[in-house]
Amino acid sequence: MRFDFEKLNVYQKALDFTDEVYKVSRSFPREEQFGITSQLRRASLSIPLNIAESCGRRQKNDRRHFLDMARGSVHECIPLIEMCCRQRYVDNILKDKLYENCSELSRMICGLINSLK
């Protein structure tokens, strides 16, 4: 049996983004294991987790709250990605790709939020 949230395009894209973050961050310096690597992974994973949790809520306000949290996690990824680029853990091309993924996720989550009104 599939859960309803698994059918959502935004959930699938959030999982893809998280998967990409995990792959990219494997090459980060070992000394960043408990720093930027951990923070970026947790922020990216929080996106699909909060989308899934929102679907488990009955009240629109509760659903909206978890979608807001998911969108906040997308925004948390932006300065982390920028710092990765500044520290030369990722190049500008990869930074732009990750940034565009964040932008798309933010728009999609906003669409879900707006559909609850």
Hey, what's the torsion of the CAs at 55, 57, 63, 65, to 10 degrees?
-120
Distance CA 17, CA 116 (A): 24
What are 38-45's contacts with CB under 8 Å, separation 24+? 39/80, 40/77, 40/80, 40/81, 40/84, 43/73, 43/76, 43/77, 43/80, 44/17, 44/18, 44/73, 44/77, 45/18
Q: Considering the entire predicted model, what is its pTM?
A: 0.95
Residue 117: the pLDDT is 76
Residue closest to 71 by CA, chosen among 20, 28, 10, 29? 10
Mean pLDDT by 10 residues, the chain (117 residues): 90 98 97 95 98 94 97 98 97 98 98 91
Residues making up the chain, counted from first to last? 117
